[in-house]
Amino acid sequence: MDKHEHFDELKLLARKEAFCGYRFCPLCGQPMVIREVDGRKRMACADTACGFVHYQNPVPAAGAFIVRNDEVLMVKRAHPPRVGWWCFPAGFMEWQEHPEQTAIREVAEETGLQVRLTSFLNVYVGTDDPRTNAVLILYLAEVIGGELRAADDALEVRFFGFNELPENIAFESHRRALEDYSQRFRPSRDA
C-alpha cells in the first residue's frame, strides 16, 4: 500500500469511526450530537422534537468461494481500499437483491465467470474495511460457464493452491474463511 492510499484509508477509517461523518440531521437540518440511545452512543438530532437517530449498522455483502483442483479463486483489488491486495469475488448487496444474487453477480463482474452456488459456507463480520463494517455472506460455488478474466473491480484473477496463498489478503474475514474451509473440507491435505 503506497503512502497516498494509506492516508486515504486513514481518512475513511476516521470518517467511519465518527458515525460516517454525519454532522447535520437529514430530516430537519439541525446539528447532530452524540447522545446515548438504547444503551449506546449514537448520533442524534440536537432537536429532540425531531427525534432522528443515526443507527450505524453493518452493510451486507456476499461473495463466492470457488475451489477447482484444490485451488481457490481470488481477485486482485483494483480500487481502494487495499489496491493490489487479494480477496474473494464479493461485494456489497444492491437494494432488493438477495445475497445469492449478489454472490453470482459479483463473480461475473469481477472474474467473467458464471457460477452455480452449491452450498452455504458461513457468515463473517468484517470490521477492518475502512469504509464500513460488513456482514459477509459466503457461498461455495462451481464454475458453469464464462471465461476467466480480470474485469470490473479486479486487476488480476487467478486460482491459488492452499499452500501458496498470497500474503496480502485484503480482509480478515477472507483469511478466516480460508481457515474455515481448510478445517472443514481439507483436514487431511493440510496435515
Give the Cα separation of 44 and 22 in Å (integer): 9
Annotation says 9 is catalytic = no
DSSP-assigned letter for residue 24: B
Give the Cα separation of 79 and 96 in Å (integer): 25
In the set 156, 167, 172, 179, the catalytic residue is 156
Give the Cα separation of 31 and 83 in Å (integer): 35
Strand residue runs (E) in 46-169: 53-54, 59-68, 71-77, 86-87, 90-92, 113-126, 134-146, 154-161
CA 82 to chain centre: 12
Give the Cα separation of 65 and 72 in Å (integer): 7
- Cα four-point dihedral sign 22, 24, 28, 33: positive
Instruction: State the burial class of residue 157 (Cβ atoms within 10 Å of its Cβ: 0-12, 13-18, 19+).
Output: buried
Catalytic residue annotation = 156
